[in-house]
């Protein structure tokens, strides 16, 4: 940091707002003006930068997480129906 007293930009986006619009940002759904304010805010705010990084990590990090397998009886019944289907 510098010796100069830190000054926020006039139209700085508050962190409390950032956490509400972060998904819209990641989804590419933020209006251009809000997007600009958010991106400017990110250049000065380590907390929001980390928050964004975490939301990104989460969004991209859950692939393949499966709570349970499909029931074996269901799978067997469906495959049996496939074998027995009327042939055309």
Partner 1 sequence: MATEARGDERLVAAICRGDEGAFGELVDRHSPAMIRVAQTYVPSRAVAEEVVQETWIAVINGIESFEGRSSLKTWIFRILTNIAMRGGAREKRSVPFAALAAAEDTGGPSVDPDRFLPADHELFPGHWVVMPARWPTPEEGLLAGETREVILAAIEELPMAQATVISLRDIEGWSSEEVCEALEITAGNQRILLHRARTKVRAAIEEYFGATEEIDLSAVTPELAGDTGTEKDSTS
Report the C-alpha gap between 2 and 11 in whole angstroms.
Answer: 22
Report the C-alpha gap between 17 and 12 in whole angstroms.
Answer: 10
Number of chain residues interacting with partner 1 (CB under 8 A): 50
Mutual orientation of helices 32-44 and 15-26 as an angle, nearest 10°?
120
Within positions 21 to 80, which residues make up the interface with partner 1, using CB under 8 A? 22-24, 27, 29, 45-48, 50-51, 54-55, 57-71, 74-75, 77-79
Instruction: Pick from 2, 16, 33, 43 the residue near partner 1 by CB under 8 A.
Output: 16
Q: Which is nearer to partner 1, 32 or 65 (CB)?
A: 65
């Amino acid at each position: 940091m510098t010796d100069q007293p830190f000054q926020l930009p006039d139209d700085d986006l508050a962190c409390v707002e950032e956490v509400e619009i972060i998904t819209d940002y990641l989804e590419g759904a933020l209006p251009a003006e809000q997007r600009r304010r958010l991106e400017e805010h990110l250049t000065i705010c380590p907390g929001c930068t980390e928050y964004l990084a975490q939301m990104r990590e989460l969004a991209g990090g859950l692939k393949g997480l499966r709570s349970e397998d499909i029931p074996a009886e269901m799978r067997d019944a469906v495959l049996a129906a496939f074998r027995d289907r009327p042939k055309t």
